[in-house]
Amino acid sequence: MTDFAKTRAQFRLPDGVIYLDGNSLGPLPIAAEARVARTISAEWGQQLIRGWNTAGWMSWPRSIGDRVARLIGAPSGSVVMGDTLSIKVFQALAAAAALRPERRIILSDSGNFPSDLYIADGLLTALGQGYRLKVVAPEEVEDALDDSVAVMMLTQVDYRTGRLHDMAALTAKAHAAGAVTVWDLAHSAGALPVELETCDVDFAVGCTYKYLNGGPGAPAFIYVAPRLAAIAQPILSGWMGHAAPFAFDLDYRAGPGIERMRVGTPPIIALAALDAALDVWDGVEMADVRRQSILLSTLFIAEVEARCPSLTLASPRDADTRGSQVSFRHPDGYAVMQALIDRGVIGDFRAPDCLRFGFTPLYIGEAEVLDAVATLERILTEGSWDQPRYRQKAAVT
């Protein structure tokens, strides 16, 4: 059994704050402070360029990739870290489309994160040749899978509502239609059990600044099924993915296996923070995280519905079809969320009207859920959210 008191003690959470936004940016793991300081002073400071060899920096994208692999049901050697998630979406989608050169449709859904759709659009424009992005409603994906679809590209958990796709069923359906699959795990990795290998997923990508607590802008990851790793073309053919980067050949030769999905120089300081953040996961069972997250989100829904009648549930009621976040709609959702944050309960807002709350058992328990709902109820009953200062839109919502 996972010891959640132990995991909680490993985070630095400010006094007086209830943090329900780990689905957007995880909090600071205490060990990351010393780890980053060590990388800066003892490694960069003392070892200078030698650090690539002496501190092992060069292999971190792979070794840290292996640590992430354990959390997403992927075998060792199938995940590599680097770049941002948007870049990894581009890379995975391009490689996937190249595996079905005779097909022209990239299938996605309207619950996907806009950046994934923008990236797909940009890639398909660059490819030309009649490629088309087809976006359907989430519940229509299955029926839209036919022999024109080259790639099914989906985000498993809807960033706005928390709706959870059935990865096993959709992947099997896509394969039966002859399509290649790309799954975005931004809201799944560290939130719920993911079984990439068991589900026979082809490509997966994700970020590490949400449930994995790697820090703002932490490096992304990409998974390539081992059966495809030697044939998938990296497209972003940077020197770090070359078979021999320090041979400085003028021609590109893709590196072995997942190595080829590396692009350029890895962000070492950010990787140091992420590596420390992953220490928290040692001894954590994802099944325990899921059980506890369902308990917390179900409690939150019941309490909000009982005490805050002006809010409407935007997330699936059935916990089995929900990720680790819950959203409620309110016509003035932005102002309500700002008032809540002002009182120390931090969630976030997604246009047009969603108040979003993430449930992260590593550092959130039932007491926080009940306190958060009490504050929400007070704000709504008093109407104290209805002030011009809470309507002032900030750059990041």
Distance separating alpha carbons of residues 40 and 51, to the nearest angstrom: 11
Q: Which is nearer to ligand PLP, 153 or 339 (CB)?
A: 153
In degrees, to the nearest 5, what angle opens at C-alpha 168 toward C-alphas 166 and 170?
65
Reported as type and span, the H/E element at residue 394 is: none
Binding of residue 116 to ligand PLP (CB under 6 A): yes
Binding of residue 213 to ligand PLP (CB under 6 A): no
Q: Which is nearer to ligand PLP, 79 or 308 (CB)?
A: 79
Residue 209 designated active-site: yes
Binding of residue 184 to ligand PLP (CB under 6 A): yes
Q: Which is nearer to ligand PLP, 212 or 379 (CB)?
A: 212
Contact map string, positions 33 to 52, toward ligand PLP, x by CB under 6 A: --------------------
Binding of residue 221 to ligand PLP (CB under 6 A): no
Q: Which is nearer to ligand PLP, 51 or 219 (CB)?
A: 219
Residue 184 designated active-site: yes
Contacts of 180 (CB under 8 A, 6+ apart): 96, 97, 99, 100, 150, 151, 152, 174, 202, 203
Reported as type and span, the H/E element at residue 18 is: strand 18-19
Contacts of 323 (CB under 8 A, 6+ apart): 156, 157, 158, 162, 163, 164, 187, 188, 191, 192
44-62 burial code (b ≥16 CB/10 A, e <16): beeeeeebbeebebbebbb
Exactly one of 60, 159, 223, 357 binds ligand PLP (CB under 6 A); that residue is 159
Shortest spacing between CB 356 and ligand PLP, in angstroms: 11
User: In 157-267, which residue ranges form alpha helices assigned H by DSSP?
Assistant: 167-176, 196-199
Contact map string, positions 67 to 96, toward ligand PLP, x by CB under 6 A: -----------------xxx----------
Distance separating alpha carbons of residues 397 and 394, to the nearest angstrom: 6
Residue 300 designated active-site: no
Positions in 309-338 near ligand PLP (CB under 6 A): none
Catalytically active residues are: 113, 184, 209-210, 356
Given the rule CB under 6 A, which residues bind ligand PLP? 84-86, 113, 115-116, 155, 159, 184, 186, 207, 220
